[in-house]
Structure 1
Amino acid sequence: MYLNLDKSDLIRFESILKNSLASLISFTSYSLYFPREIPLAMQEGKKLVPIIEKDRTLLPLSLNNNFLGIFLAKGTDYNQLISLKDHLGSFTSLSLDKLFLHKQCMLDELTGLSNREQFTRMVEREIESVLSSITPGPAATMDNGPERHSASFWIMIFNLDRFRRINNTYGYMFGDQVLEGLAAELKRVIPEQAALARLWGDTFGLFQPQSSPSKCQELAKSILEKISETVFEYAVSGEKVSLTASAGSSFFPQDIKGHQFRKTPYELARIAIQKAQQALDIAKENGRGRSYFFGQLLSRGGVIMENLPLNRMIINLGKNVDACEGQKFMVWSRKFNGHSQIIQEPDKKSLGHYPPIHKGEITLQEVQERISIAEVLYLNDPSWEIEPGDKLSLLPEKDSLLENNGIVENTLPKKDIMTGLYSYRDFVSLWSKNRNCVDSFSMVMIRIHDHGKNDSEQGIGGENLILELMSSLKAVLAEEPLGGRYSSTCLIFYFPGQSPQDLYPALCQLSSSIRDSCQASIFTGIACFPYLNYSRINTLENCRKSLEHADLIEFPHVACFDSLTLTVSADRLFTRGDTFAALEEYKLALAADEANTLARNSLAICYARLGRMEMAAKQFQEIIGLEDQNIMAWYNLGCAHLKQGDLPDAEKAFEKCLEIERDHAFSLFRLGQLAENSGDLDKADKYYNQARETSSGKNLAPRHLARLAWKKGDREQAREHLHQALINNPRDAFSLNLMARIYLENNDDPQIAESLARQSVVLRPDVAGFWNDLAETLKAQGKEDQAAQAKARAFA
């Protein structure tokens, strides 16, 4: 595919162009122009020449005889540029060549799509934006709401089925033609906001922000259908060649696990892509021509592979699909699963389907890379064994029938001879019988992490660690508790009549002992009954939550289930997008500790995202009552007042922020907006420039200063600020929209205005004004029908 620069590339790579020219000539400021016609003063026969004026220079930007636009450099030295006049054309050509090489490095040469590196960088940048929008906590603000960012995106990796056969049969030249033609067809299918890339060979990637899972499923289906409908002709013989493809998808942040959020955006981008690739691999394994979502693999993709002694078995789920020890699965008969047909002989007609019948429940004991070892917790019918091929469905922890009902079989529970521990099934059965006999008790979960061993070195060495832990536990405790194996690396204990405060010192001592004697780390979670309004059964789930909390704190890694644990659990729900569940968990955290400002701030953010501003404001005021100098609470209170239309109180709250912190950039921006909206542009200018001097405000200020300059009628100044704003954030919808309006009002090329306006509506389709501006750019080009459609969308 032939690549070239176009006008939109000048805006896209503007910083590179500016820096390249700045290394050759000096100027104080600059802007780009896209006139409909080349100025006469710039034409010298067939040659384009620069226009050099007293304090500014207009450089024509032309590549391969294609006029692109004008670089207006202001504050230039007239005498210097006159002496360089004959060389300025070479300077701009060199700069444009540099832009072209940069674009070439971002695109796949064959298809013209983004290449793998550009696709990965795109995902990485989006993750940085998403993380700032989904994370609650003490620094969370109402600026991080859904109106600022969708806080979600989708990745699909798809690969052509048996494409190697096409290369081998018809040759690589025809194979390349197929890939190029397919890329052109797919560009017509994907939405404007999506980005398509060729990652390698016949594997493509699709990135789409701001989309729901249901819409993504529809798009995945339409892409695979488009591929299967596309027919290519082999010119030599006239043969018709058709294709199919398989796809795998992942969602961010839904498919990211808690501990993975601590990784950098660089790492997270590759994790998200790898998860989509994993789903693609499963799709290939299950017959090709299919589309799988990563989130479905663990919940619905499990199968029993092989039976082992001692009620254990191998299943096909491992670390590759985020399986983890302790997870519970329902086992469904491979025949009686609701899908197998009842066939009548001899005509073999289907009479219907067998009903789904579940055999029992299993728990994962040891998780390896692509498989796991599971243990039977109970069987519905002891005479009906679990068999290879039986299907699995993931159970939420709270839905485990064993844990809730304490199913006890006729056989007596048996301790493991080596460790003195019960199997998890026997432990839960004994605990369920004993938990109602006492008024209070505690549960403890201990997970071992051996830093010195890798997966291939575990096994017997890991069991020796368990023995060492049990020996050390007996040494620090007054009496031996009821204990069980939650998984191969996690133990669970029941302490009747004891509180977390009784156990905490001994468990901290245990952590030190294991670190010193075994060079291993242990993480310990403690939960007790009674606590708040939780039932006895809930204690096990609370213990699991406290273990997750322990993983986030420093040595000795011992966490008691408390208000902070509930906050951590709520944050996890919030991150997954389950705002209502997070809200209830934050409420429980405050019921445990009213002074937990961490939970209260996050609760208020939840209320704000649900549109309940009055309740959000009340929570922020509660925080201020406890901590008068809490700047984020004051700032969020100001935002809540602003959304309620209470401008005087909003202004007071933002001014209070500046009393606490003189250079609080976000408050300066808010005060600038209040002044701007009231018509006091000079006061707004003062606030915006003050914000630009701060480290957190310097990249955000150009957008606000551009809008201000535009309102003052200074189009050139507005344009300069907007260029800087888009360098800082190429996905700034408001800057793109204002740039489109300026280009349109200046009678520049309306195609450039249309391109910018389209980008703004893709990023923020909810802003009606953006659709109106897009309609104006279309109307300027005589595209009346499209303009009418855009106008209608503004009022949808």
Structure 2
Amino acid sequence: MKDCLVSTDVSLGGCNSLCSLARADILEQESLLISRLRHFLSFSGHALYFPTSALPEEPEYLPRERKLLLPLRYGGVALGMLMLHGVRAREVRPLFPLLASLAQLCLELLQRVKLCCRDRVTGLATEDVLYGLMEAEAARVRAQLSRPCTEEENVPLHRLCMGLVLVRVDNGRAVASESGFCFSDALMAQAAQAFAREVPPEACAARVGRFGIAALLPAVSGRGVCRQLAEAALARLSGVCLPEPLSGRAVRPVVSVGYAVYPQDMEGGDFALDMSEQARRLMERARLAARVASRRGGAGAVMSFARILQEGGSVVQVLPLGRVRISLGKRAKAREGLRFSVWEGGPQGRYKGEIVLLQVTEQDAVAETLHLADAAAPLCEGDALALLSEESGAPRQDAENGGGGNEGEEDARGICSHGMFLRRFALERERDERFALTILRREPDGSDEDPLTPLIDAWKAAPALCGERVLAGRYGGNALIFYHPGVEAEALAPHWAELCTALAARGVTVVAGIAGHPFLQFRKTEAPECALKALEYAQLLPAPHVGVCNSLALNISADKRYSLGDVFGAIEEYKLALLADQENVLAWNSLGTCYAALGRHNEARRYFLEALQRSPGVEQAVQTRYNLGTVCLQLEDRKAAAEYFRQCIADAPDHLYAHLRLGQLCEDAGRRAEAQKYYEQAAAIEEERERRDGEVSNVARRCLARLVARQRKGEEAREMLHDALLRNPRDDATMRMLASLYLDGGDDPAVAETLARRSLLQHECAEGWRLLSRALAAQGKSREADEAAARAAVL
């Protein structure tokens, strides 16, 4: 039974009835149904039919075609017809009197699995089911990011994410304490039903903990879809009300909503963890967002995990010496050195000053006061925080403006406080036309010693790094920042590498990022930001982990912007990377990708050609040629596209997508035999990857199914598509193709509607909305069909 629960794919539905089995359930649990039948019969393929006319009462075997038609009936309801292909006569004949009972047994198993996967009180999916789906969806997102997309799957990276929306019933415990647990269960059931009405059929609604409800939105949802669902759920839940049995008073759930997305809201180290651990960390981030929403906005508030750092923090304790404890910790992605403006009563209230983070723990952080707007109005508990950018948060230099206590002092080792360093840096940089800034950070290692002591000792023992005018300051609890006047960043790099190597020999792992000025058009005030870019670059380098802010560091920073959907910001940084190094092939290639994403294919082609001319190795040249072929295809230059794809295959015979593109070109030209050859080669590559790496891809199978369907071989196409869905139940393109076949074949349009809806949130496209419109129109739902058609017209 274990494999049943893992492979059932119970996702996509809110509060389905617990006591009935529907046609949609058979589609959702198709893999389980087929795996159970294989215990009794061997067959080479299968297809599901959902005819609107009456089904035959008994199974039927067609010996000439070696097909078995098996009616699916449960509880006196005709659900559909299963066609098994390649069934041997000598195997099926002894079982023939038992086939109806065998089908009934398999359907009963589906029903039991459905019951096991639903929460008894709310009717939603259980928490274990939700985590299983989160693991599968996270793996799918990472697989998508690790390979190029076909044209039909081409979506912006910032939308290639899995969304988790969590509704927190804040007064759940109070209701249970005052009115009893049975009453609180009844209130939760009503809240769950209201929530499920807003959850699309493609998503999974589940109960989380005792007083939480969550919805998992499949990949390619984006933050906007999560926020829309969160706000719609709040509006719907505001109308939930249940009278208490004894007093008759109306009790309403007090809710707050938080949401997080994968992988954008994860940290670099998280991706090395097991998928099960990653799923639970994402849930914790959604919970944290809901808690912050409750604290900052009260009942009926929505908060994204990504916005917690920007606007979700507050002062929780005022400490001596001008320091405060704030509510942001490492869990909210806070780090040492970040600066915040402080506001009384929120960003719309009175401005009170600025703080900088000194030491960050998991739950909270200690910050130092940089500036007070009014010395008579000190920082207080409950003051709201807003994250400052590097430039907008530049420290005030006017001593009359006041500041935190103890900022003007150095410790006995000559290390400035962070606020003191910023003020001295602001003065020193005006005296020097050339300088370098270094951030040295110690990686966590579980040691109980002061994390900065070994760093300071090693720095003092390096004469090349501590000169007369060198400034050293704290950059949080585990990092230092250094100002080196009159030197080049490249000249400092070997000395910092020596220091990092010496520390590594003592078991202390450190990372150093160095930024020099002048560098391109960056201003002196932007040197700390450049040093942070160098630090991110250094983390990706092998030991001794020393990075200089150069072309490659800018490239990595631009990649980060592109992954967050800031295409224009990424283009700006890629161009800066090229200004720093014209031979940066990654920057040329990435610029082409950005312009292709914007639909400016001629410019993309020019950048790809530049990348191809500078490609140092075969691997980079292969990817660039593939990009060029794709862009040429968009520009209707099919001859050039075919040539680039053939060159890809010549250099990399296992390049899956080059085979697929060539197959599409041949298919469009009417050369179906040649197209089939390329698709079959691609399918062989898919099978080899699945066998070797466990990577499941159905692109070649879909292409073959489309080719077969065009040759009027509908049954064979259905078999291929059902087999593809067994391999990957979240394959949205396969769902759309199968829904189209159901509509064209006269099957129940409600099944086609289910498939179309399941595919839409995974990849919202005009084709999916048009299919949904067709399915709704076939059922007589003209108003909904018109709405779906209108959505298709917009895309």
Q: Quick check: TM above 0.5?
A: yes
Match of 1:499 among 479, 488, 492: 488
Aligned pairs (5 A) from 1:145-544: 145-146=154-155, 150-168=159-177, 170-208=179-217, 213=223, 216-233=226-243, 240-260=250-270, 265-285=275-295, 287-333=298-344, 338-339=348-349, 356=350, 358-382=351-375, 384-402=377-395, 416-453=410-447, 457=448, 461-474=450-463, 481-517=470-506, 519-544=507-532
Partners in 1 of 2:329 and 2:635 — Cα distance?
A: 50
Deviations 1:416-457 (A, max 9, x none): 34321122222222222222333322111111124142xxx4
CA distance in 1, matches of 2:70, 2:731: 27
What corresponds to 1:623 in structure 2?
A: 611
2:551 aligned partner, one-letter code: S
Q: Check whether the contact 2:318–2:380 (CA below 8 A) recurs between aligned residues.
A: yes
Amino acid at match of 2:471: L
Amino acid at match of 2:424: L
Other-structure match for 1:609:
597
The Cα shift of 1:784 comes to: 4.2
Larger Rg: 1
Look up the match of 2:778.
Answer: 780
- CA offset digits 1:89-125 (Å, max 9, x no partner): 3433343333334333433233332221222333333
**Pick aligned residue for 2:552 from 564, 574, 582:** 564
Q: Matched residues in 2 for 1:731 and 1:469: separation? A: 53
**What corresponds to 1:651 in structure 2?**
642
Report whether the alignment pairs 1:77 with 2:88.
yes
CA contact (8 A) 1:484 1:491 kept: yes
Match of 2:29 in 1: 13
**Does the aligned pair in 2 maintain the 1:141–1:632 contact within 8 Å?**
no
Question: 1:376 is paired with a residue of what secondary structure?
Answer: strand
Cα 1:392–1:753 change in 2 (3 A) is closer
How much does 1:367 deviate? 0.7
Query: Equivalent residue of 2:325, what SS?
Result: strand
What's the CA shift for 1:314? 1.8
Check conservation: 1:182, 1:227, Cα contact below 8 A.
Answer: yes
Distance in 1, Cα, partners of 2:44 & 2:335: 58
- CA drift at 1:735: 2.0
- For the pair 1:728 / 2:717, whether they are aligned, the reply is no
Q: 2:578 corresponds to which residue?
A: 590
TM-aligned CA deviation for residue 750 of structure 1: 2.7
* Alpha carbons 1:193, 1:762 under 8 Å: kept: yes
The letter for the 2-side match of 1:374 is A
The answer to whether 1:68 aligns with 2:57 is no
SS of match in other structure, 2:630: helix
1:661 to 643, 652, 655: 652
For the 8 Å contact 2:416–2:473, the answer to whether it is kept is: yes
Aligned counterpart, 1:634: 625
Q: Which amino acid aligns with 1:646?
A: D
Q: Is the 8 A contact 2:459 2:465 kept in 1?
A: no
1:673 is matched with which residue: 664, 674, 685?
A: 664
In structure 2, relative to structure 1, the CA distance for the partners of 1:101 and 1:471 (3 Å cut) is farther
Q: Compute the displacement of 1:63 (Å).
A: 2.7
CA distance in 1, matches of 2:437, 2:361: 27
The whole-number CA distance in structure 1 between the counterparts of 2:245 and 2:399 is 70
Residue 265 of structure 1, CA deviation? 4.8
Deviation digits for residues 610-639 of structure 1 (CA, Å, limit 9, x no counterpart): 111111111111121122741110001011
Q: How far does residue 320 in structure 1 lie from its aligned partner after superposition?
A: 2.9
Identify which range, 741-750 or 411-420, moves more after superposition. Answer: 411-420
Query: Tell me, what secondary structure is at the counterpart of 2:520?
Result: coil
Report how far residue 80 of structure 1 moved: 2.3
Select between 249-258 and 271-280 the one with higher mean Cα deviation: 249-258
**Displacement after TM superposition at 1:246 (Å):** 2.2
Deviates more, 1:185-194 or 1:76-85: 185-194
Call closer, same or farther: CA 1:466–1:24 in 2, change over 3 Å.
same
Q: Which moved more, 1:603-612 or 1:203-212?
A: 203-212
**Distance (whole Å) between structure 2 residues aligned to residue 722 and residue 121 of structure 1:** 24
Query: Retained in 2: the 8 A contact 1:573–1:579?
Result: yes
Q: Which moved further from structure 2: 236-245 or 534-543?
A: 236-245
Residue 110 of structure 2 is matched in structure 1 by 99
One-letter code aligned to 1:419: R
User: Is the Cα contact below 8 Å between 1:366 and 1:374 reproduced in 2?
Assistant: yes
Q: Is the contact between residue 135 and residue 575 of structure 1 (CA under 8 Å) also seen in structure 2?
A: no
Q: Could you give the per-residue CA deviations for residues 661-702 of structure 1, whole angstroms, max 9, x where no partner exists?
A: 123110111111111112222111111111000135863221
| One-letter amino acid of the counterpart of residue 321, structure 2 | L
Identity %: 32
Q: Which amino acid aligns with 2:385?
A: L
| Residue 14 of structure 2: aligned partner | none
What are structure 2's unaligned runs of at least 5 residues?
A: 1-16, 690-695
Residue 660 of structure 1: CA displacement? 0.9
Number of equivalenced pairs? 763
Asked if 1:26 corresponds to 2:37, the answer is no
Is the 1:3–1:112 Cα contact (8 Å) retained in structure 2?
Answer: no
Partner residue, 2:98: 87
TM-score by length of 2: 0.88
TM-score, length of structure 1 as denominator length: 0.88
- 8 Å Cα contact 1:474/1:480 also seen in 2: no
Q: Tell me how far 1:213 sits from its aligned partner.
A: 4.8
RMSD between aligned residues: 3.2
> Does the 8 Å contact 1:398/1:541 carry over to 2?
no
Residue in 1 that maps onto 2:715: 716
CA distance in structure 2 between the partners assigned to 1:707 and 1:626 by the alignment: 39
Measure the CA separation in 1 of the matches of 2:158 and 2:343. Answer: 41
* Counterparts in 2 of 1:263 and 1:587: CA distance versus 1, 3 Å: farther
Which residue, 565, 568, 572 being the options, matches 1:577?
565
Partner residue, 1:342: none
Q: Which residue number in structure 2 is paired with residue 740 of structure 1?
A: 739
How far off its partner does 1:285 sit? 4.1
Q: Residues 448 and 385 of structure 1: is their aligned pair in 2 closer, same or farther, counting only changes over 3 Å?
A: same
CA distance in 2, matches of 1:17, 1:323: 48
> Structure 1 residue 531: deviation in Å?
1.7
Amino acid at match of 2:427: K
1:701: which partner in 2? 700
- 1:381-435 Cα distance to aligned partner (Å, 9 max, x none): 5565434443322111232222899999899985534321122222222222222
